[in-house]
Amino acid sequence: MDHQIDLVVMQSTPFCNIACKYCYLPDRSSTQKMSLTTLRNVFSRVFESGWVRDRFTVVWHAGEPMTLGPAYYDAAFSLIESLRPRDIAIQHSFQTNGTLINQEWCDFIRRTGLKIGVSIDGPQPIHDKFRVLRDGKGSFQRTMQGINLLRQNGIDFSVIAVLTKCSLLAPDQLYDFFAGHNIERLSFNVEEIEGVNRTSSITPDDAYDLYWNFLNYFWERLLAERKRISQREFEEAFACIVRPDASSMLNSQTTPFRMLNVDVRGNFSTFSPEFLGQSDPRYGNFCFGNLNNVTLESALSNPIYLKLNEDIQRGVDKCRAECQYFSVCGGGAPVNKLNENGSLATSETLFCRLTKMVPIDLALALLENDVNLRADDQRENADAPGMMRAPDPAQLAGSEA
C-alpha cells in the first residue's frame, strides 16, 4: 500500500485547564509536555518516511495546547521548519477552549498563520452546564473574552459546538447565539461515549429524532434568513447528494496512516486519534512504537497494528455490505465501533446514525420539499414571500464544501 499522511495530530501536552464533563481524555491532569528532542525525532521520522506529499496539516490537540504558552510553540514551529523539505508545506492548527487567549497569543497567531478552532457550546446556560473550569465554575465568560480578542485582532476562527441533550432541546437558542455573534464557520460534534466518558446525556432511543429536529430547525433558519454561516454538517450533506463525484469517500479513520497520531511521549498510532490514551486486551494501548527509537515503517510489521488494521478493515467490509450510506462514509469511526459495539469488526453505531444518516436523510427531505415547492410556485406563477429554499444544486457546486 502506498501510504500518504495528510494530518498529524500532536499531543504537545495531555493537560487541560478546564474539566469538561463529557471529555474522553484520561490524563488531562498531567502537566507533562512534549520535549523538543521528541518533537525533532517525530518530524524527522515523518519526513524520512516519504509518506508526506505536497502539504499536510499538524493539529495540536488532545489536551489544551495553549497551556504551554507561545514561547514553546515558537521553538517547536522553528524546529519543525528547520526539518521541513522545501517542497512540502505545513499548516499548523490549534483546537482550543479559548480561555487562555491573550494579546501575546494573538500576536503569535498573526505572525505564524496558525489556524484556530474554538470550542464553545452555545449561550452561557448551555455552555456552562458541561464546560466548566477546574473549580467547577463555568468557562463561558473566559471563552467569550478570547473570541472577542481574536476579533479585535482581525483573526479568523472556526467554532466547534458539542451538542448534549440540553442543546438538542434548544435549537432556537443555539441558532440565535451563533447567528447573533456572527460565527461564520460552525461544526457540531454530538456528545459521544468514548474513552473515560462512559455515559451520555443522549440515549440511543431518542437520539435520532432529537438530532433530526435540531438540525431541521437550524437548517431551515439558515436557509430562510440566508445567514453567512458555513455549517459543516449542512455543507457536507448537500455536497454528497448534489455532487457525489466530487465528494471523497476516503475515510481517514479507516485508511492506515492517512492520519498520524502522536502522544506527548512520542508513541504513535493511526486510525481514530481517540485511541491514544485508551487500552484494550486485544490491542494493548493502540500504539505501534515510539518515534524516539523506531521508524514509521516499522509499524507495518507490528502485531498490534496488524491486528488493529485487520479488524478495522473487517468492519469496513461489513459496512460496505450492509449500509446504504457507505458511499458517503467509507466505514465509520473505529473508536466508536469499539466503544459502542465492543468490536471493531462491526458496522452501524449511534455515532454513524447521528453524523451521517441524520444529515443525509434531512438534506434529501429538504431537497424533495424544495422540488415540490418549486412545482407549486410554477403552477401559481408566483413565489410565496419568505419561503424556505434548499440549496440550488448548481449554486452549491460552486461553493466550498
What single-letter DSSP state applies at residue 269?
E
pLDDT band at 5 (very low <50, low <70, confident <90, very high): very high
Give the separation between CA 299 and CA 16, rounded to whole angstroms: 30
As a whole number, the mean pLDDT across the chain is 88
Amino acid at 233: E
Amino acid at 373: L
Burial class (CB in 10 A: 0-12, 13-18, 19+), 247: middle
**Sequence-distant (≥ 6) Cβ neighbours of residue 4 within 8 angstroms:** 51, 52, 53, 257, 258
Least confident among 45-59, 77-91, 361-375: 361-375
pLDDT of 24 = 77
Q: Is pLDDT of 393 > 50?
A: no
- The runs of H, that is alpha helices, within 59-203 are 70-83, 103-112, 124-130, 140-152, 165-168, 171-180
Q: Is pLDDT of 244 > 90?
A: no
Nine-digit cell string for 334: 473505529
pLDDT band at 241 (very low <50, low <70, confident <90, very high): confident
Q: What are phi and psi of 319, to 5 degrees?
A: -60, -45
pLDDT band at 242 (very low <50, low <70, confident <90, very high): confident
Q: Is pLDDT of 247 > 80?
A: no
Nine-digit cell string for 128: 456552562
pLDDT band at 385 (very low <50, low <70, confident <90, very high): very low
Give the separation between CA 204 and CA 354, rounded to whole angstroms: 10
Q: Are 27 and 76 in contact (CB under 8 A)?
A: no
pLDDT of 399 = 32
pLDDT of 56 = 96
pLDDT of 396 = 31
Amino acid at 112: T
pLDDT of 298 = 97
SS3 category, 118:
strand
pLDDT (mean) for 148-176:
96
Give the separation between CA 115 and CA 109, rounded to whole angstroms: 8
Distances (CA, A) of 280 to 66, 96, 112, 261, 339: 30, 29, 39, 17, 10
Q: Are 43 and 275 in contact (CB under 8 A)?
A: no
Q: In what order do the strands lie in the sheet with 259-262?
A: 230-231, 185-190, 158-163, 115-119, 89-96, 55-60, 7-10, 259-262, 268-270
pLDDT (mean) for 374-379:
49
Nine-digit cell string for 109: 497567531
Q: Is pLDDT of 147 > 90?
A: yes
pLDDT band at 391 (very low <50, low <70, confident <90, very high): very low
Tens of pLDDT along 202-233?
788 888 999 999 999 999 999 898 878 899 99
Strand (E) or helix (H) holding 276: none
Pick the residue with more confidence: 17 or 396? 17
pLDDT of 329 = 87
% of the chain beyond a pLDDT of 90: 73
Distances (CA, A) of 269 to 249, 286, 383: 22, 6, 55
Pick the residue with more confidence: 11 or 204? 11
